[in-house]
Chain A
């Protein structure tokens, strides 16, 4: 009963601020548009590709190319949902209304996660179908082995990225600090680590690299990743759980 009240309250909160609309629409538009663009470019480049590249060409994964940029909007969404409570001072009003801090935090995260899941799934399916439309005769279909899993996984990936950001924001309690750490982390550091052989083995256990494995249908040639698509998503889930526990502990212990 009390939890239902918290969820209703958090739903009112999330739907009554503009940042929810613009972050989520940006995530949808960027992911789909960039995916379509890369798919169209890949189609025109396909004839010039080496035999090896053609062998590992993954039409499904190609249509998700926009995720790398679209996920940044998801990060902003996750960060703002939690950290705006702190930056505005609303947290004191919120905790006076719901002094059970665990119920407050997880009620909020549940509502934001559900919204991210709906938007993430819709985005993933739209990015797939529109991307495949750009690929013409190279296209994959939803019935091909592993494709439905990848498309479904794309929606889960977007949701988990948002959840991870919520946990980090609950730990750091500041939108600027949270974005200042998460943005470069996901946009730069992760890909830099992945680019160099020595650090690649570490880099692939980072949440985004492990999690994005679920969107792959055709593995790259010579792929020696020690986990499969679901294993990778599992690693990402562990990161998310750790971030949420960290956020909960900080909220529970510190003065508001």
Chain B
């Protein structure tokens, strides 16, 4: 259990983390979602006592981080895969961490095996690929067999096989009753792994909800209708008791999944339809709406061009999953 209470971090004038209060509970994966620069990493550094909060408090199982005896046995974290001395071998890197927390050396071999680095254990870390570095960081997090695990953007830079591996690992850890807290800037990643969702933007808490609730609230389905006989169709729909949510010059949007009924009505009244398509608003869109303010702030207004692409890509993946 990780509990944050009014956690705040200021760098001079800039507020990186603004009065965050939420709890990360055991047995589930809690996704920590926010655009780049939202304050996710700063929050995680404060959990580990690396950065000092300007105000507020964060506790692990009721204690401050520096009050934990052998902290790696309580909480394991992957913050930055590059936080390794490149001249040291993977084995010695893990060994020095194990010794600092009274963890037996045989556990080092175990975690190397779990992450699949046994073959390169004696190799210097600077020769590691991004994926291998990520695996070494995860090995360090697992070292003390902790009840709480925290991963900052763990899938960044990984190949599909590595991403799959990390997702399954996190699910397995949560299934064992552990607390898993994982950050990402991609809604798609969270939708696939997280059970609970904490969303922040510009350091402020925007949502703290179960994934199921978030999907129920935000995945709006509607029917998109395009017709040159707009007025006639509006009348027909009105008579049939179907409410039209939005309409443009040629386009109508009807809430819910009523495409068959609309098609039949149009046929009955001999109305020409150019399009009749059921639509699903993506979660990525919902996330973007939620964090729009902070994104606009960084992009100086307007939607960045890249976002549209990300939505499409995500929608496809979600439907497959």
CB pair B87 A96 closer than 8 Å = no
Cβ of A97 under 8 Å from chain B: yes
**Cβ distance B11 to chain A, nearest Cβ, rounded Å:** 9
Cβ of A19 under 8 Å from chain B: yes
Stretch at the interface among A9-17, A54-62, A181-189, A229-237: A9-17
CB pair B140 A93 closer than 8 Å = yes
CB pair A100 B85 closer than 8 Å = no
> Quick one: which of B45, B85, B97 contacts A88, CB cutoff 8 A?
B85
**Cβ distance B276 to chain A, nearest Cβ, rounded Å:** 56
Interface string of B72-88 (1 = CB under 8 A from A): 10000101101111111
Cβ of A144 under 8 Å from chain B: no
Please provide the chain B residues from 78 to 112 with a CB less than 8 Å away from any CB of chain A in the complex: 79-80, 82-89, 92, 95-97, 99-102
CB pair B85 A96 closer than 8 Å = no
Q: How far is the CA of A18 from the CA of B50 in the complex (A)?
A: 28
**Cβ distance A243 to chain B, nearest Cβ, rounded Å:** 23
Q: How far is the CA of A250 from the CA of B198 in the complex (A)?
A: 34
Closest to B64 in A: A99
CB pair B101 A13 closer than 8 Å = no
CB pair A9 B82 closer than 8 Å = no
**Known contacts A5-B101, A9-B99, A16-B96; is-contact A92 B80 (Cβ 8 Å):** yes
Cβ of A221 under 8 Å from chain B: no
Complex contacts, A5 vs chain B, CB 8 Å: 70, 99-102
**Cβ distance B103 to chain A, nearest Cβ, rounded Å:** 9
Complex contacts, A88 vs chain B, CB 8 Å: 82-86
Interface string of A79-122 (1 = CB under 8 A from B): 00000110011111111111110000000000000000000000
Complex contacts, A256 vs chain B, CB 8 Å: 45, 50-51
**Cβ distance B279 to chain A, nearest Cβ, rounded Å:** 45
- The tally of CB-CB contacts under 8 A between chains A and B is 88
CB pair A97 B88 closer than 8 Å = no
Complex contacts, B85 vs chain A, CB 8 Å: 13, 17, 84-85, 88, 90
Cβ of B48 under 8 Å from chain A: yes
Cβ of A196 under 8 Å from chain B: no
Q: How far is the CA of A5 from the CA of B84 in the complex (A)?
A: 20
> Quick one: which of A6, A10, A16, A95 contacts B50, CB cutoff 8 A?
A95
Complex contacts, A6 vs chain B, CB 8 Å: 100
Q: How far is the CA of A8 from the CA of B98 in the complex (A)?
A: 10
Cβ of B68 under 8 Å from chain A: yes
Closest to B105 in A: A12
Q: How far is the CA of A233 from the CA of B77 in the complex (A)?
A: 45
Complex contacts, B101 vs chain A, CB 8 Å: 5, 97
**Known contacts A5-B100, A256-B51; is-contact A96 B71 (Cβ 8 Å):** yes
CB pair B84 A17 closer than 8 Å = no
Beyond A8-B99, A17-B87, A96-B79, list 4 extra A-B contacts (CB 8 Å): A13-B88, A96-B48, A96-B77, A97-B97
Which residue numbers of A lie inside 8 Å of B, CB to CB?
Answer: 2, 5-6, 8-10, 12-13, 16-19, 84-85, 88-100, 255-256
Q: A-B pairs with the 9 shortest C-beta distances?
A: A16-B92, A9-B100, A99-B66, A89-B83, A255-B51, A9-B99, A12-B96, A256-B50, A97-B100
Of the A-B pairs whose beta carbons lie under 8 Å apart in the complex, a sample of 27, sorted by A's number, is: A5-B70, A8-B100, A9-B99, A10-B96, A12-B96, A13-B96, A16-B88, A16-B96, A17-B88, A88-B84, A88-B86, A89-B82, A89-B84, A92-B45, A93-B140, A94-B100, A95-B50, A96-B48, A96-B71, A96-B77, A97-B97, A97-B100, A97-B101, A98-B100, A99-B66, A255-B51, A256-B45
Which residue numbers of B lie inside 8 Å of A, CB to CB?
Answer: 45, 48-52, 65-66, 68-72, 77, 79-80, 82-89, 92, 95-97, 99-102, 140
